[in-house]
Structure 1
Amino acid sequence: MGIIQSLKRFFSKQTETSEKNHDQALQSHYYKMTKDKTFRELENFFSEKEGFEIRSVSEEHGEMIVKRTKGKPAFIVVTIIMVRPFRTSVDFSVASETMLFTDFGSSRRLIYGLYEELNQRLTFVGTGLGDELAK
């Protein structure tokens, strides 16, 4: 990671996962499930998790909006996309609600923790598999 990426990461209040993120832990995570089942599992996951409140659900668009109310407040957009049968990707976009110029890595650590818990709960296949799926 270059110095500019490190500075951007430090002076940021938002973190997003993506297919080709320079941080492998922030690459799109894939699970061996259908989109509908993954969506239901994520709804249950956030409903059961203390300090999280589901604000909006759009199954047709594969998006869920979640508000973190305990600890450092954050706004989370979860995107669920089925790329082929029994292969579904889950991405997060987390924006910390802070008055400061940075969240000191809070949004990034939140995503790390969410993926860690999901990997235990769902059948994890891998990260950043978009190139593999295109073949």
Structure 2
Amino acid sequence: MSFRQKLTKYLDNHAETRENHQDSSLQTRYYKTTKDKGLKMLENYFRNSPDYKLNAVSSERGEISVITNKGRKAFIVVTVIMVRPFFTAIDFSVTTETVLPIDFGFSTKVIHQLYDQVNKELIQIDDIRMGS
């Protein structure tokens, strides 16, 4: 990752994961679960966490939208897509509400915290080519 990309990571108010992200910590992660089980786990986590307020759940689209309750305000969209049986991708998009268009890496930090939580509940698949 270049210096410019690292700088942009901290001088932006938005971060998201995707398949081929320059920052390896923000690449899509895959889990050994179904879309419905992944969505249910995330929905339960957000419902029971005092740090988040569940905004909407769309099981058909595999999306959950959430707002942070504590600290900085951020809007989070979680996307859960089943690539094949028991091979499910989970992506996050976080936009921080700030006066300036800068969050000093807060949105990236939120994504890392959410992936840490998902890793406690679901089995991560490290090698996407092998599926195991």
How high is the TM-score relative to the length of structure 2? Answer: 0.93
Figure out how many residues of one structure are paired with residues of the other and give that number. Answer: 130
* Equivalent in the alignment of 2:68: 68
Report the 3-state secondary structure (helix = DSSP H, G, I; strand = E; otherwise coil) of the residue aligned with 1:36.
helix
* Percent identity of equivalent pairs: 44
Give the Å deviation of 1:84: 0.3
* Equivalent in the alignment of 2:55: 55
* Equivalent in the alignment of 2:102: 102
Q: What CA distance in whole angstroms lies between the structure 1 residues aligned with 2:75 and 2:66?
A: 6
* Equivalent in the alignment of 2:35: 35
Give the Å deviation of 1:2: 1.0
Give the Å deviation of 1:125: 1.2
* Equivalent in the alignment of 1:44: 44
What root-mean-square deviation, in Å, do the aligned CA atoms of Structure 1 and Structure 2 show?
A: 1.3
How high is the TM-score relative to the length of structure 1? Answer: 0.91
Report the 3-state secondary structure (helix = DSSP H, G, I; strand = E; otherwise coil) of the residue aligned with 2:72.
coil
In the TM superposition, what whole-angstrom CA distance separates every residue of 1:25-73 from its partner, at most 9, and x where no partner exists?
2111111011111111110011111120111111111111000111111
* Runs of 5+ unmatched residues, structure 2: none
Alignment of 1:87-98 (within 5 A): 87-98=87-98
Q: What CA distance in whole angstroms lies between the structure 1 residues aligned with 2:124 and 2:104?
A: 29
* Equivalent in the alignment of 2:81: 81
In the TM superposition, what whole-angstrom CA distance separates every residue of 1:2-36 from its partner, at most 9, and x where no partner exists?
12212321220000001111222211111101111
Give the Å deviation of 1:121: 1.1
